[in-house]
């Protein structure tokens, strides 16, 4: 568990003095430009609304002059004039190198922030705090990832396996439509009687499988193209109009 080093300072309005909002204390390593930016950030934080409950807060900010600040905001009740809503800002000044140890997550340093201050607080020492860096969640295992990585590592082109309908269409120079080829393959595999009922023997060079597909024309319309001339479909399976893929079940 890494340990983060920091400088610190406190700014706020407290009931034990009559100075309004001012710097209460700081550690020796705080530079004037750090303190100036810290005070400006606190003033931009704003006051809580009168009807909102008092609750602590936390914010972090990268300063222009180098370090990060992790600031805890704690309610102090009434200020020195008896007005409610007084706040105290406890800041940790953390260099980028130290903040990297915390994984750039401010919540790991929240335990080092204080909210109780008294008139005896005059100075603060530099501090350290152990942080638990949140782990990176492991992605779900996909068995296809190793296969794809191996193909790409060999410099080969990644190709998807083709179904029977897609192979026939590619041989004829036709771009297949995935929905269409899947429908035809599934129809013929699930219904052997329909497959034999089609006069596939009349198609020269056909291997016994019916395959249809589609190609995009220049006018961006979908044209269904039968891959073999002479393919005969029985009258009972024909559609009056439409795609050859839309075969009727009888």
Residue-wise pLDDT for 59-107, tens only, equals: 999 999 889 999 999 998 887 787 888 899 999 999 999 999 999 999 9
Nearest to 179 by CA among 230, 221, 218, 224: 224
Q: Is residue 15 part of a domain?
A: yes
* Same structural domain, 100 and 176: no
Q: Is residue 247 part of a domain?
A: no
* Same structural domain, 12 and 123: yes
How would you label 121-157 residue by residue, b for 16+ Cβ within 10 Å and e otherwise?
eeebeeeebebeeeeeeeeeeeeeeeeeeeeeeeeee
Q: Distance between alpha carbon 152 and the CA centroid of its chain, in Å?
A: 25
Counted domains in the chain: 2
Burial category of 94 from C-beta neighbours within 10 Å (exposed 0-12, middle 13-18, buried 19 and up) = buried
Q: Is residue 248 part of a domain?
A: no
Average pLDDT (207-225) is: 47
**Both structure tokens of 83:** 């007005």
User: How far from 232 is each of 99, 197, 246, CA to CA, in Å?
Assistant: 75, 10, 15
82, 108, 130 — which closes off a domain?
130
Average pLDDT (29-55) is: 84
Tens digits of residue pLDDT in 169-190: 566 655 555 555 555 556 555 5
- Stretch (H or E) spanning 38: helix 32-45
* Same structural domain, 104 and 168: no
Of residues 15 and 30, more confidence is placed in 30
Q: Is residue 243 part of a domain?
A: no
Q: Is residue 143 part of a domain?
A: no
**Both structure tokens of 85:** 């809503």
* Same structural domain, 14 and 121: yes
Average pLDDT (213-239) is: 52
Task: Give dist(CA 54, CA 1) in Å, integer.
Answer: 33
Where in the sequence is the domain holding 209, given as residue range(s)? 164-237
Is residue 6 scored above 50 in pLDDT?
Answer: yes
């Amino acid at each position: 568990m890494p340990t983060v080093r920091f400088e610190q300072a406190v700014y706020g309005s407290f009931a034990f003095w009559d100075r309004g909002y001012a710097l209460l204390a700081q550690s020796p390593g705080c530079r004037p430009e750090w303190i100036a930016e810290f005070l400006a950030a606190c003033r931009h934080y704003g006051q809580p609304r009168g009807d909102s409950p008092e609750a602590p807060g936390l914010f972090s900010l990268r300063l222009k002059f180098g370090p990060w600040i992790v600031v805890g905001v704690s309610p102090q009740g009434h200020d020195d004039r008896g007005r409610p809503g007084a706040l105290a800002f406890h800041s940790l000044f953390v260099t980028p190198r130290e903040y990297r140890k915390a994984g750039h997550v401010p919540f790991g340093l929240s335990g080092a922030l204080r909210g109780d201050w008294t008139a005896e607080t005059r100075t603060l020492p530099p501090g350290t705090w152990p942080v638990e860096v949140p782990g990176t969640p492991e992605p779900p295992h996909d068995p296809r990832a190793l296969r794809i990585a191996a193909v790409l590592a060999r410099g080969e082109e990644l190709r998807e396996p083709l179904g029977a309908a897609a192979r026939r269409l590619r041989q004829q120079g036709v771009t297949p439509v995935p929905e269409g080829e899947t429908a035809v393959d599934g129809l013929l595999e699930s219904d052997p009687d329909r497959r034999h009922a089609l006069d596939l023997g009349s198609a020269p060079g056909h291997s016994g499988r019916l395959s249809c597909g589609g190609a995009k024309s220049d006018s961006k319309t979908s044209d269904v193209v039968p891959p073999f001339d002479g393919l005969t479909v029985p009258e009972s399976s024909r559609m009056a109009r439409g795609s050859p893929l839309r075969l009727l079940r009888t």
